[in-house]
Amino acid sequence: MLKLSHVSVRFGQRQAVDDVSFTIENGEILALLGPSGSGKSTLLRVIAGLTPSEGQVVLAGRDITTVPTHRRGVGLMFQDHALFPHLDVGGNVAFGLSGAGKQERVDELLELVGLAGAAKRKINTLSGGEQQRVALARALAPEPKLLMLDEPLGQLDRQLRDRLVIELRELFKRLGTTVLAVTHDHDEAFALADRAAIMSRGKLLQSGTADQLKAAPVDEFVADFLGATASVRRWPQ
Ligand code: ADP
Ligand code: MG
């Protein structure tokens, strides 16, 4: 579904993304996992519309490296979900929709995210978790080929995150959505995704399932970051 080949992004002297290649299969959920500043969001922006310094982005067989954002067929959901406060819930979800059947589609999407009947509610009367669901319904509305989430649950408390992440995974699997999710939290990455790709300093170090990564980390950084082999690798006290 998505193929990145040798993508690099430079901001002046700074190399934010350094020769990154990976693929996501149709219906797969991949987590981009790495510490703050490792280049995750920049990589997402390359797929969403930022032209890279080098490399190629192919979505569903089409080279989209220089295609404008609105014609790429990708959906985005960010940490500060940026809902429109002057529109009600239904208005927010309908924002990217056009044509007949809009109302039915909004109702269907709200039901999907567990907010049936909330179309007329005001954004400022919703809890953080509910707002997150509205943002998700809005991102899913135009049926994107690829859905990208950037630290989608970052502002919610741990308990709610743990619950939402399971719900999200179930929903995406039911819909067959292809997803790229950015997070710095490995528990969240592995609860949500089929596979994780570990990033550090702009480079993609390794990708695989939780078991694969923990069993055979390519280097000390991956091992430490996953906390997998801390007891083995530390010098005896
Ligand atoms: P992450 O999402 O993993 O926290 P980012 O992709 O946001 O990392 O940032 C990667 C690096 O690129 C950081 O050092 C950041 O400061 C730098 N960077 C990101 N966007 C810009 C920009 N527009 N101009 C200059 N530097 C940037
Ligand atoms: Mg980021």
Q: Is the CB of 16 under 6 A from ligand 1?
A: yes
Instruction: State the first-to-last Cα distance of the chain, in angstroms, to the nearest integer.
Output: 49
Q: Is the CB of 36 under 6 A from ligand 1?
A: yes
Q: Is the CB of 11 under 6 A from ligand 1?
A: yes
Burial letters 49-68, b for 16+ CB under 10 A, else e = beebeebebebeeeebbeee
**pLDDT tens for residues 142-163?**
889 999 999 888 777 888 888 8
* Lookup: tokens for 86: 């002057």
**pLDDT tens for residues 81-132?**
689 999 999 999 998 788 888 999 999 999 988 899 999 999 999 998 899 8
Residue 217 three-state SS? coil
Question: How far is ligand 1, taken at its centre, from the CA of residue 39, in Å?
Answer: 6
| Domains located in the chain, CATH noted | 1-73+146-237 (3.40.50.300), 84-143 (no CATH)
